[in-house]
């Protein structure tokens, strides 16, 4: 078996099929239900050998007041090591939707200093479409503890305390990944009791606008998408409902060459704590 030394931020299902037996490769299923729901409602099959990257229970603060809150460095470190992640591992993450919550796993790994992680372009739907084999999901196994050491990168994250200043700073652009109907307050927020609204000076880019069906658009297409909303050298700050689809825009912006961060609390936090 060969050993990979480095990887880009996105790989094709053909690439994974050819490298799935490489000795330092780890594959993670980072699926969550869209917006609200139970993981049990999703596909009961997975890519062979894939482990579950549990965003909700292992890689978020479970008792935080808002969903998907970024964990502490120690929590992330321990949870990553439990999955057998080593400093020299190559990690591929995917989800059952195509590209959705896998981007959050990618962003978290990058935020805590793990560089060799890539999204599987098209996720499980694309894997199945190519006729590649799958296996039934089973109860999680125990793995040899990894030696990965988490190092938090604060440049990847924006917190609510900074937003008022950022919204007035021309060097930044806040971009909201929610649907246009949610952004424009045409429909109610899906979370019970959460008011509709937008962060001041933010623009809307529904996350599916960076996708072609289940797959991410090509680099030049992504550049064109962001060029229409931003000015040269602006730092992009992504928000959404709870930090999931904001991470998908962060992936797209990274591939297009833009410096960017994710507002971790997103609209669930802002709409709760800020008075309209």
CA distance 250 to 115: 15
Name, in order, each residue with C-beta under 8 angstroms of 118's C-beta and a sequence gap of 6 or more: 7, 8, 9, 10, 11, 90, 91, 92, 93, 106
Residues 27, 33, 39: CA angle, nearest 5 degrees: 70
- Catalytic-role residue among 90, 240, 250, 255: 240
Half-sphere exposure at residue 173, Cβ-oriented, CA atoms within 13 angstroms:
21
Instruction: Report residue 155: phi and psi, to 5°.
Output: -70, -20
The separation between CA 153 and the C-alpha centre of its own chain, rounded to angstroms, equals 16
- Is 185 noted as a catalytic residue in this protein? no
Give whole-number Cα distances, 190 to 79, 182, 187, 268, in Å: 29, 9, 9, 10
**Token representation of residue 122:** 């098209």
Catalytic residues: 240
């Amino acid at each position: 078996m060969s050993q990979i030394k480095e990887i880009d931020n996105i790989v094709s299902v053909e690439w994974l099929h050819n490298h799935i037996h490489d000795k330092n490769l780890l594959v993670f299923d980072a699926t969550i239900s869209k917006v609200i729901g139970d993981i049990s409602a999703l596909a009961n099959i997975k890519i062979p050998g894939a482990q579950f990257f549990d965003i909700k229970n292992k890689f978020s603060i479970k008792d935080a007041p808002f969903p998907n809150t970024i964990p502490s460095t120690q929590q992330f470190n321990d949870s990553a090591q439990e999955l057998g992640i080593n400093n020299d591992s190559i990690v591929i993450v995917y989800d059952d939707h195509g590209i959705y919550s896998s981007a959050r796993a990618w962003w978290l790994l990058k935020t805590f200093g793990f560089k060799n992680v890539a999204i599987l372009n098209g996720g499980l739907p694309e894997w199945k479409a190519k006729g590649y084999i799958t296996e039934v999901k089973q109860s999680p196994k125990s793995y040899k503890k990894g030696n990965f050491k988490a190092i938090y990168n604060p440049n990847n994250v924006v917190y609510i305390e900074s937003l008022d200043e950022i919204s007035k700073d021309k060097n930044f652009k806040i971009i909201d990944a929610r649907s246009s109907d949610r952004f424009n307050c045409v429909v109610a927020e899906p979370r019970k009791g959460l008011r509709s609204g937008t962060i001041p000076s933010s623009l809307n880019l529904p996350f599916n606008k960076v996708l072609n069906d289940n797959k991410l658009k090509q680099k030049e297409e992504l550049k064109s998408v962001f060029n229409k909303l931003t000015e040269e050298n602006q730092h992009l700050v992504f928000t959404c409902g709870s930090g999931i689809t904001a991470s998908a825009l962060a992936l797209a912006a990274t591939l297009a060459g833009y410096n960017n961060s994710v507002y971790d609390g997103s609209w669930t936090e802002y709409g709760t704590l800020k008075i309209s």
